[in-house]
Structure 1
Amino acid sequence: MNEPHDLDAWRKGERTRLIDARMAVPASGREERTLRIAAQLEELIGDPAGLVVSAYWPFRGEPDLKPLLKRLRERGATTALPVVVRKAEPLVFRAWRSGARLERGVWNIPFPADGPEILPDIAIAPVVGFDRACYRLGYGGGFFDRTMAALPRKPRFFGVGYAEQEIATIFPQPHDIAMQAVITESEIVRPA
């Protein structure tokens, strides 16, 4: 497959198409799929005791992993959420637990208002799209790629999404960072 002449326009079109398809799935269908994704993630993580696990606050039909984070905390993990500090800068991760005070950030997404900044052992990112090489098509801000490149210690980096978000390729560029796996409701995709 040849790279499109205008990659930015192609990615923008794919984002719109994939988000519209995700939002068209009834909430009950997304919940059912999310339960399967969470079960596979929990198995992939293994014993979470002593680990820092970061996920995200769900947005625009993304899998809601807050119940998984609660279970991981109950099993000894510290949980965190990413925080956008400034546009075009790496994310920071703040400790978070259900009931903690939240503030609204970029795109009105809640983030921990008070938790300390911590480095995750496992970072879970939502995907808008993904390919079999485990490259992630996100919302276009480059936050997760920039963050993974800047962290002093590389966490295990997983993407989550629904099976129909798979595309043939995202046409990865030098700044794109592959994830170790993408977890969908039907499988765990690992780079070949």
Structure 2
Amino acid sequence: MSIKDEEDEPRDYASPACFMHEVDPAYMGLAPSGHSRPWITGWRKGERQRLIDARRDLSAADREARTGRIRAALDSVLEDIAGKSVSVYWPFRGEPDLRGWMASLNDRGTVCLLPIVTEKSKPLTFRSWRRGEKLGRGVWDIPIPVDGEEMTPDIVIAPLVGFDDACFRLGYGGGFFDRTLAARNPRPLTVGVGFALQYIPTIHPLEHDISMDIIVTENQVRFRKGIDGSSGERPQDSRYGLDK
């Protein structure tokens, strides 16, 4: 048998070539980062608790000082919002308290809304609210408007448990904000709000995760790549009077 004939003979016991590197990671149950979904779910659970604990460990005075800087940054980013509807949130588990900022928005002719969980695995709804108006108790006993008008927000301010370089938001795990944004067309401007200590390099985003347009912390304003001409880096922008 010639060398060529030998090379043409089938090799029944040879291992077939592996093309798994060419397979879409989703086919193998992997996220785009290459980690499995169960791994990401477990990792997020641990990070979520770590970041919430770190936020709650801030003293009341420190938290208020940081929140004051966040409010100032929001005013700089959202300069002309008279006549627009802005969804904010009721502070929960050490989140920045923006209730005073909401009152200032009302004074400037902005309609403030609060998000409401109506049903598990469903998008959020939004109702108008002004200081002094009646509140009821929603999921996790978070106050919600009782008599407010249901509206569609032009801008959504979303609290962060964590955030990453690509402006992806780590939330509490219910997926309400992602589900809500996916259902809105056109999508409202989305601004994630949190403290700088909640930064992580990546949340290992999955297919359902939707990035924020802007992230605001007490010492930084970060734009999603392509928003406001940003490269997506972590800029120090003198317009906002913030330190890097």
- Which TM class, normalised by the smaller chain length? over 0.9
Deviation at 1:16, TM superposition (A): 0.4
CA distance in 2 between counterparts of 1:8 and 1:104 reads 29
Query: Deviation string for 1:67-113 (max 9, x for gaps)?
Result: 11111110110110000001111000100111111111111100101
Deviation at 1:152, TM superposition (A): 3.2
Provide runs of 4+ in structure 1 moved above 2 Å.
Answer: 1-5
Which structure 2 residue ranges, 5 or more long, are not aligned? 1-32, 225-231, 233-244
Deviation at 1:154, TM superposition (A): 1.1
Cα 1:2–1:163, aligned 2, differ >3 Å: closer, same or farther? farther
CA distance in 1 between counterparts of 2:207 and 2:169 reads 13
Please state if 1:34 is matched with 2:47: no
1:76 counterpart SS class: coil
Deviation at 1:153, TM superposition (A): 2.7
Query: Deviation string for 1:30-70 (max 9, x for gaps)?
Result: 10000100110111111221110110000000001111111
Name the residue aligned to 2:138. 105
> Structure 2 length normalisation: TM-score?
0.77
Name the residue aligned to 2:219. 186
Measured on the aligned residues, the alpha-carbon RMSD in Å equals 1.1
1:168 counterpart SS class: coil
Q: Structure 1 vs Structure 2: percent identity of aligned residues?
A: 54
Please state if 1:48 is matched with 2:81: yes
Aligned residues: 192
Please state if 1:3 is matched with 2:62: no
> 1 or 2 for the larger relative contact order (CA 8 Å, sep ≥6)?
1
2:168 to 97, 122, 135: 135
Listed as ranges, the matches of 1:74-113 within 5 Å are: 74-113=107-146
CA distance in 1 between counterparts of 2:77 and 2:100 reads 16
CA contact (8 A) 1:132 1:190 kept: no
Please state if 1:122 is matched with 2:128: no
Which structure 1 residue ranges, 5 or more long, are not aligned? none
CA distance in 2 between counterparts of 1:30 and 1:111 reads 23
The structure with the larger Rg is 2
Query: Deviation string for 1:136-162 (max 9, x for gaps)?
Result: 000000000000001233111000000
1:6 counterpart SS class: helix
CA distance in 2 between counterparts of 1:104 and 1:88 reads 19
> Structure 1 length normalisation: TM-score?
0.97
